[in-house]
Structure 1
């Protein structure tokens, strides 16, 4: 386990989180190939660094609610060493909307309101796989996530991984 400290990414997320009213964050996980781990630490999460097996909620940055689920959702890179890299991140998850295959990642809250909105540019912060107890989150931009820890796991025997 490696603690990640990137002052700039942390300050950007704190700024976004501190909006009025304050926004909610969650501790979420993402599998990243070894060659991108330093880049995530330096510049944050990007779509090209990690690919879900089924990107059914469109082009965004995917996260899961547990490391075990991350192994199910993301393509696990075949490393000669058998190592798997999972980031834990603080992710802005306020105002989630249940995602659909044809729904864009940037969804205006107005699409779900019956009345005229105050601000047409007021967007939902994330898409989720289910409404009540989501296990998968998709965010539109890297500034909604701050990497906190990098966990390294070794794949056991015939492809199984112990967490």
Structure 2
């Protein structure tokens, strides 16, 4: 990009849109009486991982909303019976998180509210073409960040 002002404006717009949409989605999920959005984020990733689960480090790398709180979030999910944690047999410093059947049920109960809210607070405001361009561009930025291993 040759004009830094355009890049800065796009950055600001992305941050404002993210903040506004996430707050609105969190409100909708809370009003829907389902699990909190941050829990849903973790459950979604654990569900995608299947029966093996994810190492805690992998959970932190994959969640979108609360990377800095992952350990506490997983502990909350364990107390709620939605996730189990188990140590790695060969390395006790490593813990695995696995979604429980109750966690899968909570994920399924929350999904309709979450998807409706994304449609209302994001998708309804962009065309399919704009969404495709945004998705492609933002994934390119994310992939660059992942290649840097920013920890």
TM-score (norm 1): 0.30
TM-score (norm 2): 0.31
Bigger Rg, structure 1 or 2: 2
- More RCO (CA 8 Å, sep 6+): 1
User: Relative to total residues, which structure has the larger helix share, 1 or 2?
Assistant: 2
User: Relative to total residues, which structure has the larger strand share, 1 or 2?
Assistant: 1
